[in-house]
Amino acid sequence: MQTRKLGSSGPDVSLVGLGTNNFGGRIDRAAARLVLDKAFDLGITLIDTADVYGDKGGSEEILGQLLGPRRQHVVLATKFGLPMDEAGKLRGASRRYVMQAVEASLRRLRTDWIDVYQMHYPDPATPIDETLRALDELKQAGKIRFVGCSNFSAAQLEEAQSAAGRQHLVSFISCQDEYSLLERELEKDRLPVMQKYGLGLLPYFPLASGLLTGKYRRGAPLPPGSRLANSARHADDLLTARNWRTVEALSAFAAARGRTLLELAMSWLASRPYVSSIIAGATRPEQVEQNLAAIGWVLTPADLAEIDRITL
């Protein structure tokens, strides 16, 4: 397994990470165990979750039950900030809530520390200075080791990093954002800020909810049980005429070189030096194997130029 540093100052992580948003939701504990065991067998060291995954706490609870002694051998990342109750009171990034949320995650994960504690979304109701001070306290107490963010705009990211520097507080080492051959918007504004501060990128939805695996066909019924079949909102967002044209062109590009669309999607992300680890979810062990095998294609400069022509 290839490894990379998470940003300029974080821990080493496997180039392919395991996203566990399916744990406690689409798959139960027994199925999750099979996926997790396969990830360990193949050398995956970054496990990513969030407090809201698995119907609010389910993913963290399953990981807490399954990791056991293996906990010390992984970089465990989770997130806070999205609503954890129907009333919307358990949410946000105030000091009060951060302190409450981290204790709940530690309890569910059955661990004494979180390796990368990530702010799931910006909180417009809380000054970023307050959030960073709370996270700094948690780091000083040994409850978290590094902090990251997710879904920040370029301006919000700049504000957070500047505030951390001015006040000598813990600063973000990573950004988790949607990034794939079908979603490259962050290259326009967020990526320069990430590179300025040496932040590692953790792409989520690297396969565009399966659209970049080759299992969907224009005009054909969505495969039963697939993510897009189960989520009309995601299907409406992704199954656009532009995306179909792009996917078909990428499929032809890969096929002409004796490769699959999955190999192209994963290897293209692996070719980006600012990508620290590709967060790939799985519901079956064989998907973990496929995701790992798919990063072996070394794309040439000519390949990358043609991919840009197709996708930009």
Burial of 218 (0-12, 13-18, 19+ CB in 10 A): exposed
Model pLDDT for residues 155-178, shown as the tens digit of each residue: 999 999 999 999 999 999 999 999
What's the CATH number where 99 sits?
A: 3.20.20.100
**Domain assignment present for 241:** no
Looking at the domain assignment, is residue 215 inside a domain?
no
Chain mean pLDDT for the chain? 95
Q: Identify the domain containing residue 282 by its residue range.
A: 3-210+264-300
Mean per-residue pLDDT for 135-150? 98
Is 158 inside any structural domain?
Answer: yes
pLDDT at residue 92, as a whole number: 96
Percent of the chain having pLDDT more than 90?
A: 88
What pLDDT score was predicted for residue 198?
97
* Domain total in the chain: 1
Residue 223 lies in a domain: no
Residue 87: per-residue pLDDT: 85
Mean pLDDT of 247-255: 97
Q: Is the pLDDT of residue 6 over 80?
A: yes
Query: Is 228 contained in some domain?
Result: no
Q: Is 274 a catalytic residue?
A: no
pLDDT tens digits along 283-307: 999 999 999 999 999 999 999 999 9
Classify residue 311: in a domain, yes or no: no
Convert the pLDDT of each residue in 89-98 to its tens digit: 899 999 999 9
Residue of 53, 117, 197, 204 marked active site = 53
243-265 average pLDDT score: 97
Residue of 44, 73, 48, 84 lying closest to 63 (CA atoms): 48
For residue 166, the model assigns a pLDDT of 96
Residue 40 domain-assigned?
yes
- The pLDDT tens digits for 186-196 are 999 999 999 99
C-alpha distance from residue 43 to each of 40, 123, 221 (Å): 5, 35, 36
Do residues 123 and 93 touch, judged by C-beta distance below 8 A?
yes
Q: So what's the pLDDT on residue 78?
A: 98
The reply to whether 75 falls in a domain is: yes
Instruction: Kindly tell me if the per-residue pLDDT of 233 is higher than 80.
Output: no
pLDDT in tens, 61-83: 999 999 999 999 999 999 999 99
pLDDT value at residue 232: 67
CA distance 299 to 292: 16
